Structure 1
């Protein structure tokens, strides 16, 4: 059976400053909340820009509410923007803290800042800075991760990596964020740090020295539990699989995604060349085999990792690619919001499409909506006429069937995504639909004789 994979742009938002991180809130009650962080090096004297750290790096934190239902276009509503130091990473805590969501932010000022999502005021929720901790002088905080990735941790901690090559583990108390330990982990920038979500005493790190390392906090940071040089360039993304114990995904400037079994870090389970440096990797919130990759110079891709995780030595097939960003693909995240499997088109609510454009001779038209700084895309033919959604069905990408089902016991899948790109300062919200070809064909009217 063939399978149809389709991506559709729902909204595009101009962040004004360079966008590098997006994160959907993972808590069910607040899964409609989306945060986006930006990073901008202010122009000025070259010497000043080189020698400075925080003063010339500015950022902005955006907060959005999303309603992805077909009757609401565009789905995002901006509810807050906060000027901050430049932001290099954002991560929501996977469990509520004092019954509220908590957002962690790694900044160019060398701080980890924690923002609490407060009760709605005048109909919208807002973020307030609750706690902050300095990692040390003359360094940029480059990444952070929570120990709560599987949503069941009582000992809430944060691990951060920084531009000095150091890692810091911080403990969250009732009214404090305190550094528990800090150590030199890499020779150059430590681009990424992450907890094992199955054993939160284990921390992984990757650096510009091309090394991937593991650390056991019970043994102290005097020496790593392993050091891998399997990546040939800087290691900049790591994500522990929250659904499958021991499985770890890593990405590098060497343009490869590696899958590992944490019990044997000498040789990876699998290697997949994706093109472009792999800046971020995200496992799907509920489907253990789906991996989202932000590939810098080569857009965003969804990989299916089932066969690799079962020990078969073959690259992970790419199920879908999102190619509408025009700059470095940096931030990417899956939403947990449920989507209907179909969005019937109507003249008042034209659907947005991002594949099949070349084959159908169509192009995207940008529709600006002032003064919200957001805009939508709709599909037109070469004469400027709107192309209805059903007319594109023959051009939809039909993928080979590299496995029995894309998701076990599931006939179709619809996902909402957010991605962002750097120099063009854009954030896109889009959906991915994956369905059996036969299922789709049965929904089409039979041709008249």
Structure 2
């Protein structure tokens, strides 16, 4: 089992739903948190389009950090998801963001007069589009279907999930191995060469919103389980729950690992209580 020790806390103001550590050295101490909030002035006005506000917070978290406080705050439309590119582009770490106004934004991380994100590219997906998620392509898109180029439709389409599929994550080390998460509260392990039946599954007692393999240990997975809090999973031939974190008082949405080999440092955030926590996990 494991012990979660909260080291830092900070209230985000708006509802927090996304936390992402930068994977690009030497910026592994950079953490971003995305937030989302319906404008309360629009409540009760059925004929008025609702305004969704958001902020991106940039944190610098070092081993000696005593207090969590943002180094930068960016006012935006509501943020539903954000992902760092795993490598630099043009020499800069790049953060991808999707917003409640249907836009994809790319931010460059500058390291000149202190670390700072600056908007680089903004593209509209379409009008009245609520963009929920994004990810960067790394040579394998991990789509949960199998295709034959001679046929227009998928040749394998698995329907074993008992509710909406919310997360698909490829193993960071082992080819063909991937995890899925679902509102049915189960995490499933798959071999991408045979999607007719999963290898194994485990009930995590909460609808799974995000799954994150540890960047250096492909036996350990972090899961955000909505109303069930956060879970630490061990993945071998079976999936087992080896720890839980229940110190948030609202929906567990955002979770990510810090990209370092020496310790198990995680950031988590929850929605309605508007909080981000940084914790260290100790395996026992």
TM-score category (smaller protein):
over 0.9
Secondary structure of residue in 1 paired with 2:154: coil
Equivalences for residues 4-83 of structure 1 within 5 A: 5-46=2-43, 48=45, 52=49, 56-69=51-64, 72-74=65-67, 76-83=68-75
Greater mean alpha carbon deviation, residues 233-242 or residues 80-89 = 233-242
Would you say the 8 A contact 2:100–2:131 is kept in 1? yes
Does residue 302 in structure 1 map to residue 225 in structure 2? no
CA distance in 1, matches of 2:119, 2:180: 31
CA distance in 2, matches of 1:276, 1:256: 8
Runs of 4+ deviating beyond 6 Å: none
Q: Deviations over 1:330-379 (max 9, x none)?
A: 0000001455xxxxxxxxxxxxxxxxxxxxxxxxxxxxxxxxxxxxxxxx
Shift of 1:307: 2.5
Would you say the 8 A contact 1:102–1:114 is kept in 2? yes
Which of structures 1 and 2 has the larger relative contact order (alpha carbons within 8 angstroms, sep 6+)?
Answer: 2
Q: 1:20 to 1:49 in 2, by over 3 A?
A: farther
In structure 1, the residue matched to 2:249 is: 326
Equivalent residues, number: 284
Choose the corresponding residue for 1:255, options 174, 177, 185.
185
Equivalences for residues 50-449 of structure 1 within 5 A: 52=49, 56-69=51-64, 72-74=65-67, 76-121=68-113, 124-148=114-138, 199-200=139-140, 202-204=141-143, 213-214=144-145, 219=149, 222-308=152-238, 316-337=239-260, 339=262, 414-435=263-284
Higher strand fraction: Structure 1 or Structure 2?
A: 2
In structure 2, the residue matched to 1:192 is: none
Shift of 1:203: 4.4
Q: 1:45 to 1:133 in 2, by over 3 A?
A: closer
Q: 1:293 to 1:66 in 2, by over 3 A?
A: same
Secondary structure of residue in 2 paired with 1:287: coil
Secondary structure of residue in 1 paired with 2:205: coil
Would you say the 8 A contact 1:241–1:288 is kept in 2? yes
Q: 1:6 to 1:114 in 2, by over 3 A?
A: same
Q: Deviations over 1:85-128 (max 9, x none)?
A: 1011010000101111000001111111000001231xx21000
Structure 1-normalised TM-score?
0.60
Secondary structure of residue in 1 paired with 2:153: coil
Structure 2-normalised TM-score?
0.94
Secondary structure of residue in 2 paired with 1:118: strand
Shift of 1:137: 1.9
Greater mean alpha carbon deviation, residues 136-145 or residues 260-269 = 136-145
CA distance in 2, matches of 1:49, 1:110: 21
Secondary structure of residue in 1 paired with 2:82: strand
CA distance in 1, matches of 2:257, 2:274: 20
Segments of 5+ residues of structure 2 without an aligned counterpart are: none
Secondary structure of residue in 1 paired with 2:108: strand
Q: Deviations over 1:394-422 (max 9, x none)?
A: xxxxxxxxxxxxxxxxxxxx310000000
Shift of 1:226: 2.8
- The structure with the largest alpha-carbon Rg is 1
